Amino acid sequence: MKIIIVGATGTIGKVLTTELKKRHEVVSAASKSGDVRVDITSSASIKEMYAKVGKFDALVSTTGKAAFAPFHALKEEDFYTGIKSKMMGQINLVMIGKDFINDNGSFTLTSGILATDPIKSGTGLSFVNGALNSFGISAGVELTRGIRINVVSPGLVEDSAAGLGAAFPGHVPVPMSRVVSGYVKSVEGFGTGKVIEIY
Ligand SMILES: NC(=O)c1ccc[n+]([C@@H]2O[C@H](COP(=O)([O-])OP(=O)(O)OC[C@H]3O[C@@H](n4cnc5c(N)ncnc54)[C@H](OP(=O)(O)O)[C@@H]3O)[C@@H](O)[C@H]2O)c1
């Protein structure tokens, strides 16, 4: 399969890229490096990426930013950070990409455990994660041509846990191998409209 990974240079994306490259043609994408550059906060940039890459079989997104700040410090603009990047950035990868993807292709987005298991200062991420889960569940109903969509919702990954542990009391960090397996299940498996929780 020809697979685009947006966020391929990040903590999760680089390990996933190594795994999927064993069996597939991978096109890595990120805003500062990669085979193609894309800024997911810009629809024009996303269209440019798809035009450059051409037809493909799977798109995996392991990217997206959102505000991490105490609830009472959050300003309206902080919510828009997550809406513009992690939420609409990933949704636009699907809404624009559906016209470029091959029949029976798949989209895999990333949300996170904070959708349903909140922590202090996590509201800016939690509400976006919840929206992405709902988007995936609903889009799975209407995508045509055999195109599938799933959302991987990882817990705090072991590789990111150093220094963050105190912010996630009682959370058991998840091994990267389990997180990568969630993406592999989405891309190489059969389900659609699923939230694949790796907790
Ligand atoms: N790590 C965890 O423990 C964990 C747990 C649950 C959920 N998640 C979620 O998983 C996703 C990835 O997490 P991560 O820890 O792997 O993140 P990360 O290490 O910060 O990597 C982010 C990736 O996205 C790219 N990127 C950043 N802004 C971009 C933009 N505007 N357009 C295109 N690419 C952009 C980065 O490359 P450039 O800088 O070159 O753009 C990088 O490749 C995030 O949505 C995060 O919330 C992570």
Q: Is the CB of 192 under 6 A from ligand 1?
A: no
Q: Is 32 in the pocket of ligand 1 (CB under 6 A)?
A: yes
What sign has the CA pseudo-torsion 89, 49, 148, 177?
A: negative
- HSE at residue 43, side-chain half, CA atoms within 13 A, is 6
Would the CB of 128 count as within 6 Å of ligand 1? no
Closest atom, ligand 1, to C-alpha of 113: 6
42 residue type, one letter: S
CA of 4 to the centre of ligand 1 (A): 15
Q: Which atom of ligand 1 is nearest to the CA of 63?
A: 24
Laid out side by side, the sheet with 36-37 consists of 36-37, 25-30, 2-6, 56-61, 101-110, 148-154, 194-198
pTM tops 0.95, yes or no: yes
Is the minimum distance from the CB of 7 to ligand 1 under 6 angstroms? yes
Q: Which atom of ligand 1 is nearest to the CA of 66?
A: 47
Tens place of pLDDT per residue across the chain (199 aa)? 999 999 999 999 999 999 999 999 999 999 999 999 999 999 999 999 999 999 999 999 999 999 999 999 999 999 999 999 999 999 999 999 999 999 999 999 999 999 999 999 999 999 999 999 999 999 999 999 999 999 999 999 999 999 887 899 999 999 999 999 999 999 999 999 999 999 9
